[in-house]
Chain A
C-alpha cells in the first residue's frame, strides 16, 4: 500500500502481475507436446466407423470438446440445454433404442447433480451410456462449484459403471473406441483443450481394465492414474537425480480395477505411493488400499492426493503446489518418506 494520499496511483507498471484463475486452465507445462481436443477428434473417428455413436451435451459442448463431434455429425448431435437430469435420462433413452451415446458435461454436474439418473436409467439396465466429465479433480481454479474432487468417490459405488481416468491425449484417443465397444455404462474423466502427449514415449497402449508398468525401479513404486501419471513420470526422473530409482504403474481404469497387476508391483520391499488428481477419500488410494487389504498383503501405502476438504480458488499451478500435486512436492514427499 502506498502511504501517500494526495492522488490515486494511475500507473500499473509498479504493480506485481497477479496469478489469475481460469475456468479452463491448461495443466500442460510450457513447451510440452500437446494434442488439441483429443476427445472430440477421437469421437469423430469412432463415429465414422460406428454409425450408432451419437453425442449429447448440456450446454457445454465447447468446453468438453464435443463441439468437434457436433460439427462433424450435426444430425447425430443433440443439444439438451443446461439440464443434466434430462441429459443423462435422454442418453439412457437413446441407448435403449440401440444407439451408443456419449454425453458430456462437467464432472461436478454429472456426479453430484445427475447421479440418480445415471444410476437408475443407465447403470441398473447396464446400458451403453458413456459419461464424459470435464474438469475432473483439480483442473480448474474456480473453486468447489467446478472442482470435481470427489467424482470417483461418488461414482465408484455405482454398480456396472466403468471408470476411466486417462493420463494424456494418447490415453483418450485409444480409450474412446474401447468405451464405445464396451457394453455397459462408462465414465471418462475428460482432459480437454490442449492435452499433453506423454505416453508415446513409452511402450504403451491403453487397454480397458488393464494397468500398465510404464517404467521399472528398485526403490519406489508409484501407482498413478489420470494426469498424475504424467507428474509421476516427471517425479521419477527428478528422483533419479537423488539416486532414487522409481517404477511407475499407470492404472487408467479405476473400476473394474486391475488388482492383480497392481498387487504384484506393490507386494515388494519398495516404498509404495499412490498418486491421483482426486480426494484422498474414495479414489485411487482407497481402491489400492482395498485391494491390498483384501489380498492380505501387509503393506504401507503413501497417498499423494487432494485433501479431504473444499479447495481454494486460484491459479492452477498455485493450487497444485498448495495441495501437493506438483512435481516438486511429490519429490519432497518421497525423499522424506525414504528418510
Chain B
C-alpha cells in the first residue's frame, strides 16, 4: 500500500481467517479532504456512478433479472475509469490512439453498457434492448456486437492475456495508449490470469493497468468458500506488479489509486493493479442486504423501490 493512504482498521467485508483479516486491513477509506482530490472531481464521478447504477436497474427491470448486483458494485470503478482516466473519442470508438478498456468479466456487460452510455459511445435509449433478440447489447459482452467493447469476455481468465498482447503491440508500434483490464476476484481462480501476470511483469508493461473487482462472490458462493484467493495483495506484489488495494466504492480512493498508477506509468515499467473491494448491490440497501447471489433475483414490484433507494442515497450523500 502506498504511504499516502490512510489505513482503515475496520474491515469492510466479513472474513473468516487471520490471513484474510491482514489483507483486508489494507483497504483504505479516504475522505475527499484527505485525498487532495478536488471535491468537484469526486462529485462528477459520483454523479456518473449514480447514473450508471440507475441505467443498470432499468436494464435489469426489462430483463426481469441479470447481473444487477455486480453492476451496482462496480459502478464506481466503471465511472472512475471512463469519466476520469480513459482517452477515447465517443464518435470514433476505433480511434487508433484510444486507451483500451477490456471487460474480461463478460457478465458485467450490463454495467459496462451503462458506462458506455455515460461515455456517449452507446445511446442511452438503446440500453433498454439489453439481452434482447438482435440487440447490440448481449447479456455477455462481445466485441463483435457493441461499439466500445474491445474484447469478447465471459470465458473468464482471458482478458489479462489479451491485455498483455495489446500492451506489447501498442508499445511496439510507438503508441502511448494505455490498456486497462477489468477483472474480478473470481478470475483469480484461473491459471491464465497468473500466466498473464507473470508475462506483464516479464515484459515490463508499464502501459498496463489491471482493475480487480473484489466482491468476494462467485457463481457457487462466497469466494473464500469456493477457492481461497487471499492474500490477494501479496500475490500481485510477489508477481512484480505495482499494487494498490482500495475501497472500490469510494470514489476518492479510486481516483487517488488511478493517479498513483498514472504517475508511475511508463512504456517500460511495472504493470499496475488496483485491487478494489466492492459490495454487491452497492447503493441500493434492499439489495445490499439481500443474500448475495451471483445472479440476483429481483421481484417485479421491487425495481421501483430499488431506484428510489438509489436516488435517496445519492441525493442524501450529495447534500451531506
Taking beta carbons and an 8 Å cutoff, which residues of A are in contact with B? 54, 75-76, 78, 80-81, 83, 85-86, 88-99, 101, 116-117, 120-121, 124-125
Closest to B144 in A: A125
Q: Does B23 contact A (CB under 8 A)?
A: no
CA distance A88 to B168 in the complex (A): 13
B170–A97 CB distance below 8 A = yes
Hey, which chain A residues are within 8 Å of B166, CB to CB? 93-94, 96-97
Taking beta carbons and an 8 Å cutoff, which residues of B are in contact with A? 100, 142-144, 150-152, 154-155, 157-158, 160-170, 172-173, 175, 191-192, 195-196, 198-199, 202-203
A81–B165 CB distance below 8 A = no
CA distance A96 to B203 in the complex (A): 18
Contact A81-B155, Cβ < 8 Å, known A94-B165, A97-B166, A97-B173:
no
Closest to A124 in B: B152
Contact A90-B144, Cβ < 8 Å, known A96-B150, A116-B155, A120-B152:
no
Distance in angstroms from A225 CB to nearest chain B CB is 31
Distance in angstroms from B54 CB to nearest chain A CB is 31
27 residue pairs from A and B, CB less than 8 Å apart: A76-B172, A81-B198, A83-B192, A83-B195, A85-B195, A86-B195, A86-B198, A88-B161, A89-B164, A90-B199, A91-B165, A92-B165, A93-B162, A93-B163, A93-B165, A94-B168, A95-B169, A96-B166, A97-B165, A97-B166, A97-B170, A97-B173, A98-B169, A116-B158, A121-B151, A124-B144, A125-B144
Closest to B175 in A: A97
- Which DSSP category, helix, strand, loop or mixed, fits chain B's interface? helix
B165–A96 CB distance below 8 A = yes
Hey, which chain A residues are within 8 Å of B144, CB to CB? 124-125
Contact A86-B199, Cβ < 8 Å, known A93-B169, A125-B152:
yes
Hey, which chain B residues are within 8 Å of A91, CB to CB? 165
Closest to B142 in A: A124
Distance in angstroms from B103 CB to nearest chain A CB is 13
Hey, which chain B residues are within 8 Å of A54, CB to CB? 169, 172
Distance in angstroms from B107 CB to nearest chain A CB is 14
B192–A86 CB distance below 8 A = yes
CA distance A194 to B175 in the complex (A): 40
Hey, which chain B residues are within 8 Å of A121, CB to CB? 151-152, 158, 161-162
- Which DSSP category, helix, strand, loop or mixed, fits chain A's interface? helix
Instruction: Give the one of A76, A95, A116, A120 with max B CB within 10 A.
Output: A120
Contact A90-B173, Cβ < 8 Å, known A85-B192, A117-B192, A125-B143:
no
Instruction: Give the one of A86, A89, A93, A117 with max B CB within 10 A.
Output: A93
B152–A90 CB distance below 8 A = no
A85–B165 CB distance below 8 A = no
Hey, which chain B residues are within 8 Å of A90, CB to CB? 161-162, 164-165, 168, 196, 199
CA distance A36 to B160 in the complex (A): 37
A96–B158 CB distance below 8 A = no
Hey, which chain A residues are within 8 Å of B168, CB to CB? 78, 90, 93-94
CA distance A101 to B198 in the complex (A): 20
In the A-B complex, the 7 residue pairs with the smallest Cβ-Cβ separation, listed nearest first, are A93-B165, A89-B161, A90-B165, A97-B169, A83-B195, A85-B192, A93-B166
B169–A99 CB distance below 8 A = yes
Distance in angstroms from A134 CB to nearest chain B CB is 20
Closest to A82 in B: B195
CA distance A116 to B157 in the complex (A): 10
Contact A94-B169, Cβ < 8 Å, known A117-B192, A121-B162:
yes
